[in-house]
Structure 1
Amino acid sequence: MAKYGFLGLGIMGGPMAANLLRAGFEVTVWNRNPERCASLVALGARQGQNPAAVAAACDITFAMLSDPIASMEVCFGVEGVLAGIGGGRGYIDVSTVDDHTARRIAAAVGERGGRFLEAPVSGTRKPAEDGTLIFLAGGDQSLFDEALPALAVMGKKSHYLGAVGQGARMKLVVNMIMGGMMTAFCEGLALGRKAGLAGERILEVLDEGALANPMFRVKGPMLLQEEYPVSFPLKYMQKDLRLALLLGDELRQPLPGGAIANETFKRAGAAGLGDDDLTAVFEVVK
């Protein structure tokens, strides 16, 4: 059985690594804050000293990191993945980054004799805990095929989309749409309540028609209670919107709706809501 590594044990990475352990896989974990390793070590994980050591000891190493800067640091930094990769071992970055970052990491891993796959996920904390994420992969297809048993434990569907960069682009498209939907949802609830409509009735009507969707179903009650337990931090939603807009600029695709959503999330971040759930954008909309 393959040996797996897992780098980054935050809101998403911790549950994903835990699912691998519960499925009986051998897993070595690392996190910048080593205290986050404790609960996984209790489940049977080994604790790696640094990313290089994990990549050297494991057949396939996953990374779930906060943004492109973190992905670059873990790969290229002192005692980073590049110092341990090689010999055909695999590195799978499941973080949400831009396509340029993914291709740069892929090239460096290939030069060291390793294999690279980007596989950002569609899903937040609950799907990560439940093992129902959707993986959007691009890169080395042999690595994708070898990693499928692990991906199947952490997710309900894995899409192979071709060359490195296509997974990143798909994820940015998905999250840009999500950000736009969330701002429209918040505006609609705010308008309806100020017009004298009961929030619960608005959610009921939405759920009965063409606008019914899992996000509104889950997030709607949170908005009405004005409580925002963190599933997907607002600051990361804004980061993804920014990256989507940069891709739009590069491809000369106008994205006025995405730009408006980005500005709304920027306002929420400036209001000190960046570490709250993305639903906290309601605080600046209402």
Structure 2
Amino acid sequence: MGERVGIVGVGLMGQAFVHHLLESGFEVQGYDISERSMAKLHERGGTPVESPAAAARGARWLITSLPNSDIVREVVLGSNGVAEGAARGLIVADTSTSRPEDSEKLGTELAKRGIRFLDACVSGTSAMAWKKDLIVIAGGTAEDFEAARPAFAGFSRAAYHMGPVGSGALTKLIINLILFGNRLALAEGLVLGMKAGVAGESLLRVLQDGACSSKTMIDKGPKMLKGDYTPEGQVKISLKDARLALEQGTRLGAPMLVASLWAQLQQAAYQQGLADMDSVAFIEVLRALAGLEKRV
């Protein structure tokens, strides 16, 4: 039998983690508040358990994949939380997009209990996660990072150590900030083409092959063009991430022009009922401003 990994949060990303970890020979035990997600975990060959504490018992590594750092804190330190089931030396790797200061605080508190912590954010969509095309960006001690490498290799194509706890979360927000700009520019260009009557598929093909090409154009361009907002991420999560980035800009005194505009567009999409759709559904806000018909 392989080494045991616990996971709390088996939603869009977590299911892909489970799949690849099992394929890599790990035992996986997991918990989620969603009965449907727990059923999928069982179907994939993982072991559903009754609480975050149970997910930690007997595991060498515990992965959290959750909506925000407040939920991570409750799952780890709350009643029946990870800390209650953890043996000394357990490595908790939080793959959520969290507030860096929250990660630092949690890491300090866990260290007092003999539990090791990495803010091990991942970069990539859930579709990329299923292809094992994610990277891990981790903050923590070099020793803990090296000890977690086998687990990271189980569900990602590369892992990077960025510095102390909190640096992984900050780096993820920087990645997201640049991604915001890529997606915004692509959507704006596509809407201009739509308004002008340019053939969408031809335009996207040229953009993907031109000097402006990016992963965003390959992964998200077709979704924007077709109005396919099947979630690989979600508007509500993208809005949360944008607000986290803006917080860091305020805290550090850095300009956040793109993040500010992105947050407003995601807020508009959220208010238009698109919260649970893929984050690129914000292109509908731009289409409306251009006087184009609604697609959702």
Query: Where does structure 1 differ by over 6 angstroms across 4 or more consecutive aligned residues?
Result: none
Q: Which residue is 2:194 aligned to? A: 193
What is residue 247 of structure 2 aligned with on the other side?
Answer: 246
Give the Cα separation in 2 of the matches to 1:122 and 1:82: 26
- Counterpart of 2:268 in structure 1 is 267
Higher mean C-alpha deviation, range 14-23 or range 194-203? 194-203
Is 93-102 or 38-47 further displaced after alignment?
A: 38-47
Aligned length: 286
Q: Could you tell which deviates more after superposition, 198-207 or 226-235? A: 198-207
Residue 57 of structure 1 aligns to a residue whose secondary structure is coil
1: CA distance, partners of 2:40 / 2:209: 41
Query: Partners in 1 of 2:248 and 2:199 — Cα distance?
Result: 39
Write out per-residue CA displacement over residues 163-192 of structure 1, whole angstroms, 9 at most, x where no aligned residue: 011100110011111122212211111112
Q: How far 1:105 moved relative to its partner?
A: 1.3
Report matched runs for 1:1-286 at 5 Å: 1-286=2-287
CA distance in 2, matches of 1:93, 1:29: 14
Q: CA deviation at 1:84?
A: 2.3
Question: Is this contact kept in 2: 1:82–1:108, CA < 8 A?
Answer: no
Query: What one-letter code is carried by the residue in structure 2 that aligns with 1:65?
Result: L
Paired with 2:60 and 2:224, the residues of 1 have a C-alpha distance of 43
Secondary structure, aligned partner of 2:212: coil
The 10-residue stretch of structure 1 (209-218 or 116-125) with the greater mean CA deviation from structure 2: 209-218
- Runs of at least 5 residues in structure 2 that lack an aligned partner in the other structure: 288-296
Distance 2:253 2:183 in 1: 25
Q: Is the 8 A contact 2:58 2:87 kept in 1?
A: no
How many angstroms apart in 1 are the aligned matches of 2:170 and 2:104? 12
Percent identity reads 35
**Any conservation in 2 of the 1:85–1:113 contact (CA below 8 Å)?**
no
Residues 193-220 of structure 1 show CA distances to partners (whole Å, capped at 9, x for unaligned) of 2123222222122122221112112221
Equivalent AA in structure 1 for residue 160 of structure 2: H
Q: Give ranges in structure 1 of 5+ residues lacking alignment.
A: none
Question: What's 2:294 paired with?
Answer: none
| Mean CA deviation greater in 46-55 or 262-271 | 46-55
Residue type matched to 1:187 in 2? E
Q: 2:180·2:258 contact (CA, 8 Å) conserved in 1? A: no
Do the aligned partners of residues 39 and 257 (structure 1) sit closer, same or farther apart at CA in structure 2, a change above 3 Å counting? closer
The CA deviation string for residues 224-259 of structure 1, in whole angstroms up to 9 with x for no partner, is 211211101111111111100100000000111210
Offset, 1:26: 1.1
